[in-house]
Amino acid sequence: MKLFEDYSLKNHNSFKIDVKARYFAEADTITDLIHFVKHKPLTQLPLIILGEGSNVLFKSDYNGVIIHPIIRGIEVIHEDGKHVIVKAGAGENWDAFVEWAINRHYGGIENLSLIPGSVGACPVQNIGAYGVEVSEVIESVETIDMTDGELKLYSKPECNFGYRTSIFKNELKGDKIITSVLFRLSRSPVLKTDYGEIRKKLKKYKDFDIRTLRTVIMEIRQEKLPDPAQIGNAGSFFKNPVITDEEFKKLVRIYPEIPGHPSDTPGQWKIPAAWLIEKCGWKDRCIGEAGTWSRQPLVLVNYGNSTGKQILELAESITRDVSEKFSIQLEKEVNVI
């Protein structure tokens, strides 16, 4: 375990906000984490777990302890004719893990290509894209309890997965350190190509496979989203809101062009937050050096030296305008600290 004091977080959050943590603890083994938790050297201070920082917004310096697990390793622990069970360390980069799976023709996560972050963060947020959520392939999640250092395995049902949420984001927030995730991947992938953008790009291929689909999805994401290495951002800042059938019908009468599709829950509709934001005039607008991305207003960006407070002010202004115009309350997908 490496412990740093007064540590800069600029390279540990994709918004590139220039803030510091009072203490920053880096652990590359489960033993280190258990020892740290059981001995509680800084027990009087607040504590959070930070992966690659791709889904957080720091409002200011963090006067506490940040634990940064960098546990590595990918291994197949079971296989049969149809599936493989793969165990990946929490510190593995998510897209590198997707690439690892594609290289072995293991399917189930190709639609989640190029999503930033670590393997350990993926179940917390239940990351998803292009008709796939990671919960569909998660077998279980291995954790360490923050109070006593005990190891606990959470099965898929115990994770309480939902749209961009899980037990680790809600009931157990701050109580568990995820050390590894077990995935059930397919040896005979069934490709999901329902989205129009995907189908359009696949037309130029006579034949396509899991590798082709990954390439296409990476192209789409690169066309729509800014590279965090160049422009600070955390991807989609808001969730796509879900409203009732009655609410959707009322909006259709006022805005016949409003897009939407049935959610997984009967009688509810999911509305693209980007459309709502653009209709409120927030596309490609700024408050200071915080702004919305020109190609995708759902993405808030740091165009230079914006502070976390400025980005949060922008988000709150957008939320207020959408609420006033559509009577829909946007919910943040990014975790504000």
By annotation, the residues acting in catalysis are 164, 236, 333
Contact 9, 17 (CB under 8 A): yes
29: helix, coil or strand? coil
Q: What whole-number distance in Å separates Cα of residue 144 and Cα of residue 177? A: 5
Instruction: Let me know how long the chain is.
Output: 337
Q: Which two tokens stand for residue 48?
A: 């959070």
149: helix, coil or strand? coil
Contacts 24+ apart (CB under 8 A), 211-216: 211/102, 213/110, 213/111, 214/98, 214/99, 214/102, 214/110, 214/113
Contact 132, 183 (CB under 8 A): no
Q: Which two tokens stand for residue 2?
A: 């490496």
